[in-house]
Amino acid sequence: MGPVLLLSASYEPIRVISWQNAVCMFFLGKVEIIEEYDHDIRSVSIAIKAPAVVRLVKFFKAGRRAPPLSRANILARDNFQCQYCAKELTAKESTLDHVIPRSRGGKTTWENIVCACASCNRKKGGQTPKEAHMKLLKNPIKPEWLPVLHIKLHGKIPPSWFTFLQTNS
Indicate if 54 and 91 belong to the same structural domain.
no
Is residue 50's pLDDT more than 50?
Answer: yes
Q: What's the CATH code of the domain at 93?
A: 1.10.30.50
Q: From 61, 81, 104, give the residue that closes a domain.
A: 61
Residue 47 lies in a domain: yes
Q: What is the pLDDT of residue 146?
A: 62
The per-residue pLDDT for 168 is 46
Counted domains in the chain:
2
Measured CA distances, 64 to 15, 22, 77, 108, 162 (Å):
17, 25, 17, 22, 27
Residue 115 has pLDDT above 80, yes or no: yes
Other CB atoms within 10 A of residue 118 CB: 12
Examine the domain organization and report whether 70 and 136 are in the same domain: yes
Query: Are the CB atoms for 67 and 146 separated by under 8 Å?
Result: yes
Same domain for 86 and 116, yes or no, is: yes
- Could you list the residue range(s) of the whole structural domain that residue 117 is in? 66-143
- 77 in the same domain as 45: no
pLDDT in tens, 61-95: 766 667 788 888 898 899 899 999 999 999 899 99
CA torsion sign for 149, 60, 50, 17 is positive
Q: Are 71 and 47 within one domain?
A: no
Under a CB-based contact definition with an 8 Å cutoff, are residues 84 and 116 in contact?
Answer: yes
Distance, in Å, from the CA atom of 54 to the CA atom of 60, rounded to the nearest integer, reads 15
Report yes or no on 152 lying in a domain.
no
- Say whether both 99 and 122 belong to one domain: yes
> Could you tell me if residue 166 is inside a domain?
no
Q: Answer whether 0.75 is exceeded by the pTM.
A: no
Residue 120 lies in a domain: yes
Is pLDDT at 52 greater than 70 in this prediction?
yes
